Amino acid sequence: MNILILGSGGREHAFTHQLIQSKKVTKVFVAPGNAGTDKIATNLDVNPTDFNAIKEVVIIHDINMVVVGPEAPLVNGVHDFFLADEKLKTIPVIGPKKDGALLEGSKDFSKEFMIKHGIPTARYQSFTQENLSKGKDFLETLDPPYVLKADGLAAGKGVLILDSLEEAKAELEEMVSNQKFGEASSTVVIEEFLKGIELSVFVLTDGKNYKILPSAKDYKRIGEGDKGLNTGGMGAISPVPFADESFLSKVEEQVVKPTVEGLQKDGIDYRGFIFIGLMNDNGNPSVVEYNVRMGDPETEVVLSRLASDLFELFEGVANQTLDQKEFSVIPQTATTVMLVSGGYPEAYEKGKTITGLENVTESIVFHAGTTTNNSDVVTSGGRVLAVTSFADTIQEALDKSYRSIDEIHFEKMNYRKDIGFDLVS
Ligand code: AMP
Ligand code: GLY
């Protein structure tokens, strides 16, 4: 079997790392990939949202399955494109069609879905330019802080959490009237603020059956102590100690089952990952958001703990036989610490040579924003490397990651030294 993975981050390197271990997999291609995937698979210089270019490489390289990393190709309909094409329609795509991808592509759709199917989530209402004044009235009925969300995809920036009512009203107007986040904020979801501790649970579904993957917690802020600007994620830990058996069984009963059943009831044939962002409020789950893909850097810790064959699981997704597939997870804790370019998440420089990777012995280094320049590995993005380790405790795994980081160098390298600070005593 030849597999094509779409994407270029640490998530896609982690997918590649798992899939090349399957006896059934002959070759793995990654489009466009990075310097890490280049070492263990074949990179193809194709943009994941250029569907005609994808079609071309799928035919040339005799691809038997496509695994979609990021959300954009899914929201743009890559799965639908395959189904509508005579030459591609029998090639399975791991990732939902456009209808299912709306769970991430539209916050309004996903909130409506949750309410309709009785899935616990914050009380909300949606507003546009037409009913802006009603939106301001709704804000007055809520207690601070106020949560405003652009309905559409806004590169992870479309959520505002504001302490003052006046500011919330002004930002609402900026979003719907002045297109603060472009077209994405022409509809805005206003919702109640949820208290509690955040974590994520990942589900792989074939539309009927599901497997619940390990839980993970990511660290989104650039600064230590969870301070400063939001990033794509500065590190992650799996499993999450406070997600105990009792909490996870509530997640399964109150969130996962009604989500998979709700998709079926609504006629949405969903084949792929569901990434559920949750708040744990005194042991009770509430859904913050759905994503229709795996998280990055969560994949680096979640899928790394998979003991079963990922390709077999994907075959189960494609054939709706996921219930017959072996599924097991290694009990050890995984931690990943992201090395980022100085300046990220604001402006940063690229093209810095990375040295010392060959001296890392205790960790797996998943590449995120890297490329190859002659024989050098150089930085090509904000998030550069995800240094991932395993051990019996969080602390030991973190110690390994930080020892490995001491071996790695590039100009203006930055990272958080306190990943997991809230989970270790
Ligand atoms: P989202 O893109 O919906 O995940 O929102 C981004 C981040 O904002 C989440 O990861 C939470 O940390 C925070 N957030 C979103 N919605 C709420 C809410 N209703 N209550 C508290 N925090 C929230
Ligand atoms: N780490 C968060 C995400 O992938 O959306």
- The domain that holds 35 is classified in CATH as 3.40.50.20
* Atom number of ligand 1 nearest to Cα 288: 16
- Position 413 in a domain: no
Question: What tokens were used for 26?
Answer: 């002959």
Shared-domain flag, residues 129 and 92: no
Per the domain annotation, does 418 fall within a domain?
A: no
- Is residue 151 in contact with ligand 1, taking CB distance under 6 Å? no
Domain boundary among 152, 173, 191: 191
Domain-located, residue 249: no
Pick the last residue of a domain from 167, 191, 215: 191
User: 69 in ligand 2 pocket by Cβ < 6 Å?
Assistant: no
Instruction: Report pLDDT for 387.
Output: 98
Residue 215 Cα to ligand 1 middle (Å): 17
Ligand lying closest to the C-alpha of residue 226: 1
Is residue 279 situated within a structural domain?
no
Mutation test residue for ligand 2: of 12, 220, 296, the one with most atoms within 8 Å of CB: 296
pLDDT in tens, the chain (425 residues): 999 999 999 999 999 999 999 999 999 999 999 999 999 999 999 999 999 999 999 999 999 999 999 999 999 999 999 999 999 999 999 999 999 999 999 999 999 999 999 999 999 999 998 898 899 999 999 999 999 999 998 877 789 999 999 999 999 998 888 888 888 888 999 999 999 999 999 999 999 999 999 999 999 999 999 999 889 999 999 999 999 999 999 999 999 999 999 999 999 999 999 999 999 988 999 999 999 999 999 999 999 999 999 999 999 999 999 999 999 999 999 999 999 999 999 999 999 999 999 999 999 999 999 999 999 999 999 999 999 999 999 999 999 999 999 999 999 999 999 999 999 87
Residues 7 and 91 grouped into a single domain: yes
For ligand 1, atom 7, name the residue with the nearest CA: 159
The answer to whether residue 183 is domain-embedded is: yes
Q: How far is the CA of 56 from the centre of ligand 1 (A)?
A: 39
Q: Are 7 and 94 in a shared domain?
A: yes
CATH code assigned at 183: 3.30.1490.20
- Residue 163 located in a structural domain: yes
Is 46 inside any structural domain? yes
Top mutation candidate among 71, 298, 302 for ligand 2, by most atoms within 8 Å of CB: 298
- For position 79, what pLDDT does the model report? 98
The protein residue whose alpha carbon is closest to atom 4 in ligand 2 is 295
What's the pLDDT score for residue 158? Answer: 87
Structural domain tally of the chain? 2
- Which of 173, 191, 209 marks a domain boundary? 191
Please give the residue range of the domain that contains residue 139.
124-191
Are 44 and 128 in the same domain?
no
Query: Ligand 2 centroid to 146 CA: how many Å?
Result: 22
Based on the domain organization, do 73 and 36 belong to the same domain?
Answer: yes
Q: Domain for residue 234, yes or no?
A: no
Report the C-alpha dihedral over residues 415, 421, 423, 424, rounded to 10 degrees: 110
108 lines ligand 2 (CB under 6 A): no
What is the C-alpha to C-alpha distance for residues 399 and 44, in angstroms, rounded to an integer? 36
d(CA 45, CA 54): 10
pTM for this entry: 0.95
Cβ(147) to ligand 1 under 6 A?
yes
SS3 of the chain: the string is CEEEEEECCHHHHHHHHHHCCCCCCCEEEEEECCHHHHHHCEECCCCCCCHHHHHHHHHHCCCCEEEECCHHHHHCCHHHHHHCCCCCCCCCEECCCHHHHHHHHCHHHHHHHHHHCCCCECCEEEECHHHHHHHHHHHHHCCCCEEEEECCCCCCCCEEEECCHHHHHHHHHHHHCCCCCHHHHCCEEEECCCCCEEEEEEEEECCCCEEECCCEEECCEEECCCEEEECCCCEEEECCCCCCHHHHHHHHHHHHHHHHHHHHHCCCCCCEEEEEEEEEECCEEEEEEEECCCCCCHHHHHHHHECCCHHHHHHHHHHCCHHHCCCCECCCEEEEEEEEECCCCCCCCCCCEEECHHHCCCCEEEECCEEEECCEEEECCCEEEEEEEEECCHHHHHHHHHHHHCCCECCCEECCCCCCCCCCC
Residue 169 · residue 144 · CB < 8 Å: no
Amino acid identity at 308: S
Q: Which of 251, 292, 294 is nearest to 268 (CA)?
A: 292
User: Cβ(226) to ligand 1 under 6 A?
Assistant: no
- Residue 391 and residue 305 in contact, taking contact as beta carbons nearer than 8 Å: no
Question: Best mutation site among 147, 185, 231, 288 for ligand 1, i.e. most ligand atoms within 8 A of its Cβ?
Answer: 288
